[in-house]
Amino acid sequence: MERNKLLSVIIPVYNTEKWLKRCLDSILAQSYRNLEVICVNDASPDGCSAILEKYAAGDSRIKIINHEKNRGLFAARMTGIKQAKGAYIAFVDSDDFISCDWFYPLIRKAVNENADMVLGNTVNIDESGQMTYYNNYRRFNSDKQSVIAPELLRVFFKQHGECFIWHTVWNKVYSKKMIERCLPYLEKMSEPLIMGEDIAFSSVFYAFSDKLAFCDNDCYFYYRHSEASTSVRLPREKIIKNLEDIIRVFDFVENFLKEIEEYRLFEEDFAAFKEQYRIIWSGNIAAAGLQNDGSVKNLFAKGFGSGSYRMPSAHSFYFYEISTAWDDRLEQMKQHILTSRAEYISFDIFDTLIVRPLWSPDDLLRFVAEECAENFCIPENFREMRRIAEEDCRKIHKAADRNCEDVTLAEIYDYLTETFKIETELASRLMAKENELEIKFSSARRCGAELYDLALRAGKKVVFISDMYLSEEVVAAVLNKNGYQVYERIFVSSEYKKLKATGALFKSVLNSLHISPNNIVHIGDNKNSDIEKANANGIEALWIPKAIDVFTNKFSDFYTGDSFKEIYCGNNQKIDSKGVIEQLPLRCMFSVVANHMFDNPFRPFNSRTLYNADAYYIGYMALGMHIFGLAKWIYDKALAERYETVHFLARDGYVVKQAFDIIAAAMEKKNGIRINSSYFYATREALYPFMIRSREDVFKLVGITDYKCHTPAEILNWFRKICKEISVEDVSEYRKHGIDLDRPFETINDFIGFLSAMSEISLDLNKAGAYQNDISKKMQTIFAGNCATFDIGYSGRLQSILSELAQKPIDVFYVHGNGYETTALAEKNGFKVHCFYDFSPTVSAILRETFISDSSPSCIGYSLKDNSLSFEFDEMKDAYSETYAIREMHRGAVNFCKDLTALYADYLHLFTCRPQDISAAFENFILNATPLDCQTFNSTCITDKMYSGYVKKSFLETLFWTRDNIASDRIVYIDRTFRAKSKLGRALFYFLFDNKTFRKKIKARLKHQDK
């Protein structure tokens, strides 16, 4: 990164005397020093002027600009922009403040990715000093792909203002060249503006930016207090002024979009964005007690087109429903590095600066044996042999020289060769492979790298200290590969024959560097060897726990979730947890999860959750392992069956296809075999019309449609492709049969009677034949060759229709089938069914489909355009928040598959697990996730128009209903075993298994006693 990029920090100042010093101190203490701090005094009436003058006298980076009269927040920022000389610009409000290393990662990201905007993390702080973050978007910036123009403006308006982090200007760094392109448009906002100015700025910024990047760094501290302009606890005059501002902002944005000729494209999304603010301001006005104020009503009607308020509903503010206390320990470590007078910072290496995707270090030996087994006869117990050799080698060297505390890898292999009679050439190959894989599997631990980089920028000398049998040469290669290239010395126990674990290696470090203990600070993950032994030598030490230890919630002083332990509880009580975790693929997967999700060991975690109410984490671990296992199973089966293509049926196949493509690409490099994939839209609504080839076929709908949820008109709409259009005469004809097209069916006889009438009145067999013939020709082309499809399941009915259209049997991959029914249909139509699960799992199918399905509109039919098959889609649209949690789950799951495949690309053939093992985390989450974890799906909706007849039904309500039914079934079973027991036994049963009934019975007993 170029070190000379000047950053202009713009601080509008007005009436913030109480907090201005804190703001300025945080900026001047930044690790990124090349700053220009532009303070725009917007005619502040308090003591801000004196504070600014004092700070400017002490630091030449501060520049003060005074407004003669108050012009508002928008104008103050504009003044600062016009005075800025930096290549990049940032905004900080004068009542907020920032972490010590806030700007550097943002600038680095902007420079490295050539991004016009970079978005970082926000932490909220209230008047009591409590610091929190919102769980629903805590991982928003984590491992996220940049957004490129022209997609930027669409993405911005698509979220309809539901998630503020998109449009707040203070949580980003901007390129000045982009902002300069925006100035002609921003200057058209001439009136004073305080409220909503972020929306005005951001609408223009997103229009003229080429790229938005995301940076997962903490943090901007956003201060919420009663005196802020955004507070509803303000006088009536200020509430009215704020409402006028927000109306003016939306007028500005609308005119801007029209001027750049984008309004028609974004008109609908803009209207939804504005509607969100109708809801927000309806709530604000009610909170201020002004809903009956005539002036406010008139102003509201002027701005939002109606005088009626629209109060917030249960999940109008989905992104702000769950919050968790922020943990500042990593921030404290950074501040300590910046302020410490110590000349040296020493780092432990493995698990502190370097992570490996291994549950334990000796898992590496399994891959060593795998690599060498092709050319040499390696026993299956090589790992145990190597472990014994290391242990005995240490004992022998210690016996020979009591001052010798460690051994080298070469000495271990010498002992291995002699003891187990392994040929010298083979031992040499094994040792070389172990060294090679140590380098190959190593990667930088991000938070460790941040601390290392910060130490260098703070002018510290860096040394590395490690208890490790590897040679200094190999350790240096590991460090160099992962970006740790600037340092003074490496101290490796195998070279010095001294261990940190005894404290002796620290003494050697002090002697070799000729320094006193107070001139060095050590950072490491092991409480004994890195912290206690360093302290025993008078060295100050900072603890950064190992990711796997944090993942398994090893430490009592802070909670990091029991997602790992819970996999073997609840629904999975019969799983041999020890046996499962001994499986190499699962050990590797869990280590990848730990290293990724708990890279920052002080990641704040909600104590009422297993997954921190974090959809990304749920996706990365629970769904990610399930999807990887499913996709790998599909690949292995496809390879064995020699399928040329796997067609993933939309929408169930959305995320599974992405995982399959990742695996297939890696495997092709290994074995040279290409298996293609496609994403094909096939739904019940699109395919059911092809079932009907005669008038009698309409009765196939009996038993596969929940008729009570539908009307005759809805059924006719589904089959519009094979029915004639409804005329007035047809409506009359239906009425003669006693059928009201808009009245839901009440009985099965009503439904059958309608089907009979439909076959005579509406079904057009000629139209049906032509439609089916045209689509069939295209299906034969699409499903040519040896291919199969993937669908979540279950009956085989849709697969039968596809096979008939393609005029050949098409094999299918299911997550699971329906047993006999599936087998019977497959045999009848000649296709094979491959099921991932050999059982039907609990929890409603529609819920499982939601977890893996695309959230885009559903396909409702086919047509031909330019002799090509075209898909027709439902016009129903979801709000941004309604699909957010599922999209975040998918992002996490796909990232897991990418990470695992990248790390183990050469060993994917080893990653085959039993479905019940690799999917245990997913199944456990569905059945046993805590209520707060589930609340991340508060806004998620499910739609099943074709069968169940519901549209945008609460996903969470359905999940809890299903889980309650499962629990009830268990309770009934257990209850039977207690019926003959004593009253005490029954009371114990209800207390343990049915707390609601327990409380109800206790209340009834107390009420009876009162009488």
The reply to whether 562 falls in a domain is no
Summarize pLDDT for 369-424 with one digit per residue, the tens. Answer: 887 777 667 777 888 999 999 999 999 999 999 999 999 999 999 999 999 988 89
Please tell me the distance from the alpha carbon of residue 324 to that of residue 604, in angstroms, as a whole number. 7
Q: 659 near 897, Cβ under 8 Å?
A: yes
CA angle 970, 972, 975 (to 5 degrees): 105
The stretch 346-367 carries a mean pLDDT of 96
**Domain membership flag for residue 320:** no
Whether 955 and 934 have beta carbons less than 8 Å apart is answered as no
> Residue 232 — pLDDT band, cuts 50, 70, 90?
low
Q: Calculate the alpha carbon distances from 762 to 337, 466, 686, 729, 757 in Å.
A: 79, 80, 18, 11, 8
Higher-scoring residue by pLDDT: 289, 625: 625
Query: Count of CB atoms within 10 A of residue 223's CB?
Result: 18
**If pLDDT is split at 50, 70 and 90, which confidence band does 974 have?**
very low
Taking the C-alpha atoms of residue 625 and residue 590, their distance in angstroms, rounded to an integer, is 9
Q: Give Dmax over CA atoms of the chain in angstroms.
A: 106
Tell me the residue type at 288.
A
Helical residues (DSSP H) of 611-690, grouped into ranges = 615-618, 624-641, 654-671, 684-687
Same-domain check for residues 228 and 128: yes
Q: Give the pLDDT of residue 509.
A: 98
* Strand 211-214 with 117-119, pairing: parallel
Q: Check whether 948 has a pLDDT greater than 70.
A: no
Q: Please tell me whether residues 661 and 699 are part of one structural domain.
A: no
Nearest-angstrom CA–CA distance, 688 and 666 = 37
Contact present, 627 and 895 (Cβ < 8 Å): no
Q: Which of 846, 873, 900 is the last residue of a domain?
A: 873
The CB-side HSE value for 24 (13 A sphere, CA atoms) comes to: 25
What single-letter amino acid sits at 61? Answer: R
Verify that 190 and 54 share a domain, yes or no: yes
Distance CA 440, CA 367 (A): 11
Q: Are residues 247 and 163 in the same domain?
A: yes
| Cα–Cα distance measured from residue 334 to residue 328, given in angstroms and rounded to the nearest whole number | 10
**Residue 869, in any domain of the structure:** yes
Using alpha carbons, list the distances in angstroms from residue 830 to 306, 418, 823, 826. Answer: 62, 61, 10, 6
Q: What digits encode the pLDDT tens for the residues 622-670?
A: 999 999 999 999 999 999 999 999 999 988 999 999 999 999 999 999 9
Of 539, 537, 544, 502, the C-alpha closest to 523 is 544
How is 297-349 classified by DSSP, letter by letter?
HHHHHHHHS-S------TTTTGGGS-EEEPP-HHHHHHHHHHH---SEEEEE-
Q: Which of 36, 27, 106 is nearest to 450 (CA)?
A: 106
User: By the 8 A CB rule, do 552 and 570 touch?
Assistant: no
Mean pLDDT (the chain) is 91
pLDDT in tens, 787-813: 999 999 888 999 999 999 999 999 999
- Higher-confidence residue: 1000 or 893? 893
The verdict on residue 570 lying in a domain is no
Do 345 and 394 fall into the same domain?
no
Residues 6 or more apart whose Cβ sits within 8 Å of residue 241: 194, 195
- Tokens standing for residue 243: 């409402």
Cα–Cα distance between 672 and 79 in angstroms, integer? 61
Q: What is the pLDDT of residue 993?
A: 47
Beta bridge partners, 381, equal none
Give me the numbers of helices (H) and strands (E) for the chain, helices first please. Answer: 42, 29
Residues in contact with 484: Cβ distance below 8 Å, sequence separation at least 6, in sequence order? 353, 444, 449, 452, 464
Q: Is the pLDDT of residue 875 over 90?
A: no
Separation between Cα atoms, residue 968 and residue 664, nearest integer Å = 43
C-alpha–C-alpha distance, residues 139 and 618, integer Å? 11
Q: What number is the average pLDDT over the span 434-441? A: 97
The pLDDT assigned to 970 comes to 46
CB 606 within 8 A of CB 327: no
pLDDT digits over 541-586, tens only?
999 999 999 999 988 888 888 888 877 654 444 556 566 788 999 9
Mean pLDDT throughout 946-964?
77
Predicted local confidence at residue 979, as pLDDT: 43
Single out the residue of 620, 520, 621 nearest to residue 564, CA to CA.
621
Residue 183 clears pLDDT 70, i.e. is over it: yes
Torsion of CA 333, 335, 338, 343, to 10 degrees: -40
Residues 48 and 187 in one domain: yes
Q: Is 650 or 457 the better-scoring residue by pLDDT?
A: 457
String of DSSP letters for 631-642: HHHHHHHHHHHT
- Note whether residue 799 is domain-resident: yes
What is this structure's pTM? 0.92
Describe the crossing of helices 472-481 and 424-440 by its angle, rounded to 10 degrees.
30
Sign of CA dihedral 286, 290, 294, 300: negative
**Which strands form 676-681's sheet, in the order they lie side by side?**
676-681, 645-650, 787-791, 811-814, 833-835
Looking at 279, 299, 315, which one is the last position of a domain? 279
The amino acid at residue 690 is F
Whether residues 698 and 810 share a domain: the answer is no
**Nearest CA among 832, 786, 776, 789 for reference residue 680:** 789
The pLDDT, as a whole number, for residue 230 is: 58
User: pLDDT (tens digit, 9 = 90+) per residue, 466-505?
Assistant: 999 999 999 999 999 999 999 999 999 999 999 999 999 9
Looking at the DSSP assignment, which residues form a beta bridge with residue 541? 522
> Rounded mean pLDDT of 848-868?
90
Counting residues of the chain whose pLDDT is more than 90, the rounded percentage is 75
Q: What percent of the chain has pLDDT over 70?
A: 92
Question: Residue 184: its pLDDT value, please?
Answer: 97
Residue 234 lies in a domain: yes
- Residue-level pLDDT at 986: 57
Report the number of distinct structural domains present in the chain: 6
Placement of tokens 């950064």 in the chain: 544
Q: What is the pLDDT of residue 988?
A: 57
Clarify whether residues 385 and 415 are in a common domain.
yes
- The pLDDT assigned to 161 comes to 94
In which residue are the tokens 């599922």 written?
A: 886
Regarding whether 367 and 261 lie in a shared domain, the answer is no
Closest CA to 335 of 30, 90, 27: 30
Residues 73 and 131 in one domain: yes
Same domain, 192 and 80: yes
Cis peptide before 569 (omega within 30 of 0): no
Containing structural domain, residue 799: 644-678+787-873
Structure tokens at 409: 């890898």
pLDDT tens digits for range 111-130: 999 999 999 999 999 999 99
Beta strands 97-98 and 220-223: pairing type? antiparallel
| Within a domain: 123 | yes
What is the rounded distance in angstroms from the CA atom of residue 964 to the CA atom of residue 685?
A: 31
Picking from 851, 234, 472, 35, the residue whose alpha carbon sits closest to that of residue 463 is 472
Which range, 304-313, 778-787, 919-928, has the best average confidence (pLDDT)?
A: 778-787
Domain end point (choices 717, 745, 762): 762
> Does the bond joining 709 to the residue before it have cis omega, within 30 degrees of 0?
no
Cβ(647)–Cβ(677) under 8 Å?
A: yes
79 and 167 within one domain: yes
CATH number of the domain that 99 lies in?
3.90.550.10
- pLDDT per residue over 751-779, tens digit each? 999 999 999 999 999 999 999 999 999 99
Mean pLDDT throughout 955-981?
A: 60
Residue 994: band (very low, low, confident or very high) from pLDDT cuts 50, 70, 90: low
> Whole-angstrom Cα distance, residue 823 to residue 818?
8
Per-residue pLDDT at 305: 85
Tokens 């076929």 belong to: 697
Partners of 546 in the β-ladder: none
What are the φ and ψ backbone dihedral angles of 499, each rounded to 5 degrees?
A: -115, 145
**Cα–Cα distance for residue pair 389/411, rounded to 1 Å:** 9
Tens-place pLDDT, residues 739-752: 999 999 999 999 99
Task: Collapse the DSSP code of 362 into the 3-class scheme (helix H, G, I; strand E, B; otherwise coil) and give the result.
Answer: helix
CA distance 380 to 384: 9
Interval 520-532: pLDDT, tens: 999 999 999 999 9
Model pLDDT, residue 966: 66
Please tell me the least confidently modeled range out of 199-213, 299-313, 373-387, 828-842. Answer: 373-387
**Which residues are paired to 864 by β-bridges?**
869
Q: Confidence band (pLDDT; 50, 70, 90) for 7?
A: very high
On whether the CB atoms of residues 489 and 463 are closer than 8 A, the answer is: yes
Does 778 fall in a domain?
no
The Cα–Cα gap between 899 and 143 comes to 11
